[in-house]
Homo-oligomer: A and B are copies of this chain.
Amino acid sequence: MIPHKIKSANSVSIKQSLEIESIDFFVRLMGILGMPRSVGEIYGLLYFSEKPLSMDKISSRLEISIGSASQGLRTLKSLKAVRSTYVAGDRRDHYLAETEFRRLFSTFLKDEIMPHLDSANDRISRMEDSLSDNEKNDDFYLIRLEKLKKLTKTSRRLLPALAGLLKW
């Protein structure tokens, strides 16, 4: 009889290699978006998991603390990147990856980018207020202010459109 240990190690190792690549993938992707490592790890693990996973499964599988798992899941929930689901006979919450990148990206824009664009506009207004009379007649300052306005205006228009173009 084949010892249980070896059998298990085998089937796990194939699975793990997909899992590891997935985690790696999302750690980097989330990194570009300024998210901490743990957030990418959790999403990467869930992305290729057919079954919903509980928090303590996530934390033990990734070898991260339950504190990190809890924080990371909160971030992912607020991005609508994971949702929790009911599992019969288990009191714990179980999590699934949301895989519609269009929606994830648009939540990200709304929560993380748009507020910056709003306050950028306030700052531009203050710049206009603080122009001295001399500067008000100086093309150098006027042109530069105009560029900033165009930049924020265009960003505000373009970024949401971008999300719409993501299929799936």
For A6, what are the chain B residues with a Cβ–Cβ distance below 8 Å?
none
> Is residue A8 contacting chain B, with contact meaning CB distance below 8 A?
no
Sample (19) of A-B pairs whose CB atoms are under 8 Å apart: A14-B132, A15-B132, A18-B130, A18-B131, A18-B135, A21-B123, A21-B127, A21-B130, A22-B127, A24-B123, A25-B120, A25-B123, A29-B120, A99-B147, A150-B168, A154-B165, A158-B162, A158-B165, A162-B162
* Residues of A that sit less than 8 Å from B by CB: 14-15, 17-18, 21-22, 24-25, 28-29, 32, 34, 47-48, 50, 99, 101, 113, 116, 119-120, 123-124, 126-127, 130-132, 135, 140-141, 144, 147-148, 150-151, 154, 158, 162, 165-168
